[in-house]
Amino acid sequence: MAENGKNCDQRRVTMNKEQYNGNFTDPSSVNEKKRRDREERQNIVLWRQPLITLQYFSLETLVILKEWTSKLWHRQSIVVSFLLLLAVLTATYYVEGAHQQYVQRIEKQFLLYAYWIGLGILSSVGLGTGLHTFLLYLGPHIASVTLAAYECNSVNFPEPPYPDQIICPDEEGTEGAISLWSIISKVRIEACMWGIGTAIGELPPYFMARAARLSGAEPDDEEYQEFEEMLEHAETAQDFASRAKLAVQNLVQKVGFFGILACASIPNPLFDLAGITCGHFLVPFWTFFGATLIGKAIIKMHIQKIFVIVTFSKHIVEQMVAFIGAVPGIGPSLQKPFQEYLEAQRQKLHHRSEMGTPQGENWLSWMFEKLVAVMVCYFVLSIVNSMAQSYAKRIQQRLDPKEKTK
């Protein structure tokens, strides 16, 4: 099967090189035209062409709304069913009764799951920003729970305010009662939901490559084009990056489910290539998604949790702060804000944030908050740029047939 797929790829690449929209064209000129169009689109960003970018973004938004309106209009039965279901849920939510306690519980769990799944999807998609929500949200959450568990000698934090705020329970825990497994269990839901989100976020490359293979078209996607070039020059690859990508592609193609599982179970920046490979070679959806889900939401997630928990365990944190203080010259000045931050967190855990040390904003927390704000803003800007470039691509596709008829 793999050999037949390879031969089919070679025939399709040869046909694409020989023929372009019914006319025999020099493949080098076609590739050069695609490269120029791509470079032209990449220049449409807010910091280079703000007015054009905002205009194209607005027009692309209108086009997308029009397309979705048309799709919904042709699926009126589904829309009506959804509206009826929404009406029933709204009535259930607002009508008073004994069922409200269950409604509130379901609402709380739904919002919790949706929040972490959404962050997981954003981490995988990212739109080129590198918005890794594990480092910005889930990792700090696990670290906070770990520090609180060792300080409180318990993980039975009052709900509410947990998980929005962590405070120690009124009853004092036994010294040494905290284990690695108890902390893992406390953050299991958040971590697994985030892992499920990252698995869902890996589906677009798979569907894009699968649709391209079935239709015979070549999508204007850099990663997919790089994948096809890699297949063409597989035998002559020399550099480490190309060999690593080929290794991932061969592992996924030849081993199948367990190859995908192995790639998904470790931090792997090349996993997008696994999704493209599976789509290109028509790997069944549930084989790809099942292995990705198990690898990311269970295996990889537990590896990351254990790493964060061990790193932020009480004795490791104390050793790190002491090590910072031992740096010659600047050690004490660097150590002081870390000690102040840890002391402030301990006071908050014991309901003593209103007394003791002054509650001025620590520069570590201030820097982290600003970092998160900058990353989120850049993520929003990348969405605007991406949609503007999509509209520019529509214009180029409309102009191409007109140029060929001249």
pLDDT band at 7 (very low <50, low <70, confident <90, very high): low
Mean pLDDT of the residues in the chain:
77
| pLDDT for the residue 66 | 92
Distance of CA 64 to CAs 69, 70, 223, 307, 387, Å? 8, 10, 24, 42, 10
Predicted confidence (pLDDT) per residue in 312-333, tens digit: 888 888 788 788 877 787 877 7
Q: What's the rounded mean pLDDT across residues 275-284?
A: 80
Lowest-pLDDT range of 229-238, 344-353, 378-387: 229-238
Question: What one-character-per-residue DSSP string does 302-355 give?
Answer: HHHHHHHHHHTSHHHHHHHHHHHHTSTTTHHHHHHHHHHHHHHHHHHHTT-TTS
Distance of CA 29 to CAs 41, 149, 221, 231, 405, Å? 18, 64, 19, 21, 17
Has residue 130 got a pLDDT over 50? no
Percent share of the chain, pLDDT over 70: 75
Lowest-pLDDT range of 20-34, 117-131, 161-175, 391-405: 20-34
Q: Where are the alpha helices (DSSP H) in 43-99?
A: 50-73, 76-94
Q: What's the rounded mean pLDDT across residues 44-60?
A: 90
Question: What one-character-per-residue DSSP string does 126-138 give?
Answer: GGGS---HIIIII
Lowest-pLDDT range of 41-55, 107-121, 133-147, 231-245: 231-245
Reference 400, options 28, 8, 33, 24; nearest CA is 33
Lowest-pLDDT range of 153-162, 221-230, 326-335: 221-230
Distance of CA 153 to CAs 149, 306, 347, 406, Å? 5, 18, 15, 78
Has residue 9 got a pLDDT over 60? no
Tell me the whole-structure pTM to 2 decimals: 0.73
Return the structure tokens found at 393.
Answer: 């691509």
Cβ-Cβ contacts under 8 Å for 326 (sequence gap 6 or more): none
Has residue 17 got a pLDDT over 80? no
Predicted confidence (pLDDT) per residue in 76-105, tens digit: 899 999 999 999 999 988 888 888 888 888
pLDDT band at 252 (very low <50, low <70, confident <90, very high): confident
| pLDDT for the residue 363 | 67
For residue 31, the number of C-alpha atoms closer than 13 Å in the C-beta half-sphere is 11
Question: What one-character-per-residue DSSP string does 237-271 give?
Answer: --SHHHHHHHHHHHHHHHHTHHHHHHHHTS--TTH
Predicted confidence (pLDDT) per residue in 178-193, tens digit: 888 889 989 999 999 9
Percent share of the chain, pLDDT over 90: 14
